[in-house]
Amino acid sequence: MAAITNTNYTFPNQKDVYHGKVRDVYFFDDGILVMIATDRISAFDVILPKGIPSKGQILNQIASKFLDATADICPNWKIATPDPMVTVGRYCKGFPVEMIVRGYLCGSAWRSYQKGNRNLCGNILPDGMRENEKFPKPLITPTTKAEQGEHDADISKEEILAQGLVSPEDYAILEDYAMKLFQRGTEIAEKKGLILVDTKYEFGKSDGKIYLIDEIHTPDSSRYFYADRYRENFDNGLPQKQLSKEFVREWLMANGFQGLEGQKVPEMTDEVVGNITNRYIELYEHITGEKFVPADDSNPEQRIFRNISEWISNR
């Protein structure tokens, strides 16, 4: 299967296009946007040199399912999914912060804890915690929404409000939505034998109303553990098998790359790329309970253009 790493379309009434780290977003003059989930992959805020076949489809389809499954909690930007790699939605002006919800001490939070930091975005953690330990209750640990090429930065609720990044009234809504979405995601994961460990949510505003935007509960925005192995592995100090993009970061770190100046991305062999695709498929099938069926890839660029064009002409 070929990886779709770039698109460059022109549609009727299109007014702009934005190429992000992993998504290409086409803007239209009536407040509609078309988001194409490409097969690009990023880690440590760096776009890696090779795409991952099927990754865009997997992320788009998982996000679409979870947007539908949480629409009763808060409104979201999705309008339609005319192609396996495409979501059409409402344009919203995004808040300059991301709402990270953590149920367990792991990933970047654990690495910070290991260095002696006990203040996690305004949440004070006790001494003596262990990697992958469950918090008494989920924590919200926001980050700034970085510009392209920059790194997200941890920030506390107090700093967000003091800097005027979000109003107190809006922030209260973001917190409420984030915790309810995490609870719903946890419940869905439990039914599939998984633990939703942590995740990020992005929100925006349109006509004064707050919407959930971007992806939700995908392996790029979330981390999952296998529920049946968690306790035994934790009690014995063993690593948890993760269904998330963390394994990509771990592979990069093991090969001397953390996105720091002067570091070089290690070679992505066909075997490495294939293994990453297989891990994405594994998460898709576990979290959805459905077998993954790759989209027709005989001419994926043409398929995507045709499906988007047909949706535009028929709406």
Per-residue pLDDT band for 2 (boundaries 50, 70, 90) equals confident
The reported pLDDT for the residue numbered 148 is 53
The reported pLDDT for the residue numbered 296 is 83
The reported pLDDT for the residue numbered 147 is 63
Give the pLDDT mean for 282-288: 90
Taking CA atoms, 240 is separated from 103, 220, 229, in Å, by 14, 18, 8
Mean pLDDT over the full length of the chain: 94
Residue 196 has pLDDT above 90, yes or no: yes
Residue 149 has pLDDT above 70, yes or no: no
Which residue do the tokens 């203040």 mark?
Answer: 119
Residue 313 has pLDDT above 90, yes or no: yes
> Pick the residue with more confidence: 284 or 243?
284
Sign of CA dihedral 133, 134, 137, 140: positive
Residue 78 has pLDDT above 90, yes or no: yes
Give the pLDDT mean for 215-221: 91
Q: Which helix (H) or strand (E) holds 57?
A: helix 55-69
The reported pLDDT for the residue numbered 38 is 97
Which sequence spans correspond to the domains of the chain?
A: 94-244
Residue 150 has pLDDT above 60, yes or no: no
The reported pLDDT for the residue numbered 202 is 97
Residue 106 has pLDDT above 80, yes or no: yes
CATH superfamily of 94-244: ATP-grasp fold, B domain (3.30.470.20)
Share of the chain above pLDDT 70, in %: 98
Burial 197-224 (b: 16+ CB within 10 A, else e): bbbbbbbbeeeeebbbbbbbbbbbbbbb
Residue 151 has pLDDT above 70, yes or no: no
The reported pLDDT for the residue numbered 156 is 97
Residue 281 has pLDDT above 80, yes or no: yes
Q: How many alpha carbons lie under 13 Å from residue 188 in its C-beta half-sphere?
A: 21
